Amino acid sequence: MSPEPVPLRAPERRADRARHVADVLRQQIHASAFDNALPAEAALSAEFGVSRNTVRDALALLKDEGLIERAPKIGTHVARRKYDHGLDALLGLKETLRGHGEVRNEVRAARRVSPPPAVARKLRLEPGEQAVYIERLRWFGDLPLSLDLTYLVPGIGDEVVTRDLETNDVFALIEQISGGPLGSAELALEAITADAHSAMTLQMPEGGALLLLERLTSLEDGRPVDLEYIRMRGDRITMRGSLIRPPERSPDADPGTDWRLT
């Protein structure tokens, strides 16, 4: 029996092709594949097998994002790159950007609070027990990169706020105080738009792209110690990680396997 023919689909639109080209070029820019200048339109057209008009549309998308600059007789140049933030290692921002520049923290609040019930449950606090709340605007050079809201368990948190919060990651301070390494963290990452206050604080347009990271970090013995809500500028941060497909998800897996996303 001959195989069934593959159903025909509508031809790809130029806008779709331009988006595909822009996606590849965007990652090349972030990976520093270009020293400064991008290849000429004719070279990109040949590389991607698309028309020069499609290449121009793709470059227009990247220009609107602020990643490139274009000028007649000068060509196309990288305007700025994003900073990589890993998802497969438990690191603070200062540790993450080590080697790229200096991170400093503007401490906007550091006090004991009665946390919201959802926060108290995540930190396993007793009824009526307070948490230590820290709010920091984190600068990378002269760029406000993230706004971090942190809830810490009392005890460790009380000691953290007595230390140098302007130049240290909270993670490093927790390990100094607890006398041992952090263990693991549960996290959720989503895209949100910048509200008026966040936009003003992070010096970005209202409604601009933010990455919101909720991260619950535990000590090595499994006790939760730190719950953070981190707003990062989506125009300056790229989240990266390495993933391994678990054995039960292989094509030969038992069809009855219970697949879950956590």
Structure tokens at 106: 């503007």
Residue 231 falls within a domain, yes or no? yes
Residue 8 falls within a domain, yes or no? no
Closest CA to 215 of 140, 146, 139: 146
Query: By the 8 A CB rule, do 175 and 100 touch?
Result: no
Residues facing residue 83 across a β-bridge: 237
Residue 255 falls within a domain, yes or no? no
CA distance 219 to 213: 19
Domain, as residue range, for 107: 83-240
If asked whether residues 109 and 192 sit together in one domain, one would say yes
Q: Give the confidence band of 32 by pLDDT, cuts at 50, 70, 90.
A: confident
CA distance 82 to 235: 7
% of residues, the chain, pLDDT over 90: 62
If asked whether residues 59 and 99 sit together in one domain, one would say no
Residue 256 falls within a domain, yes or no? no
pTM of the complete model: 0.77
If asked whether residues 186 and 73 sit together in one domain, one would say no
The per-residue pLDDT for range 78-105, each reduced to its tens digit, is: 887 777 888 888 888 888 888 777 899 9
If asked whether residues 103 and 51 sit together in one domain, one would say no
Query: By the 8 A CB rule, do 211 and 240 touch?
Result: no
Question: 78, 94, 121: which is the final residue of a domain?
Answer: 78
If asked whether residues 69 and 92 sit together in one domain, one would say no
If asked whether residues 235 and 129 sit together in one domain, one would say yes
Residue 92 falls within a domain, yes or no? yes
Residue 9 falls within a domain, yes or no? no
Q: Cβ contacts of residue 2 below 8 Å, gap of 6+?
A: none
The per-residue pLDDT for range 40-70, each reduced to its tens digit, is: 999 999 999 999 999 999 999 988 888 889 8
Structure tokens at 137: 């605007």
Q: Please name the amino acid found at residue 26.
A: R
If asked whether residues 67 and 19 sit together in one domain, one would say yes
The per-residue pLDDT for range 193-242, each reduced to its tens digit, is: 999 999 999 999 999 999 999 999 999 999 999 999 999 999 888 888 88
Residue 139 falls within a domain, yes or no? yes
Q: How many residues comprise the chain?
A: 262
CA distance 167 to 200: 23
DSSP for residue 229: E
If asked whether residues 45 and 124 sit together in one domain, one would say no
Question: 78, 110, 127: which is the final residue of a domain?
Answer: 78
Residue 108 falls within a domain, yes or no? yes
If asked whether residues 114 and 58 sit together in one domain, one would say no
Q: How many domains does the chain have?
A: 2
If asked whether residues 89 and 195 sit together in one domain, one would say yes
Question: How many helices (H) and strands (E) are present in the chain, helices listed first?
Answer: 8, 10
If asked whether residues 49 and 93 sit together in one domain, one would say no
Q: CATH code at 55?
A: 1.10.10.10
Q: CATH code at 102?
A: 3.40.1410.10
If asked whether residues 34 and 111 sit together in one domain, one would say no
Q: Please name the amino acid found at residue 89.
A: A
Query: By the 8 A CB rule, do 90 and 216 touch?
Result: no
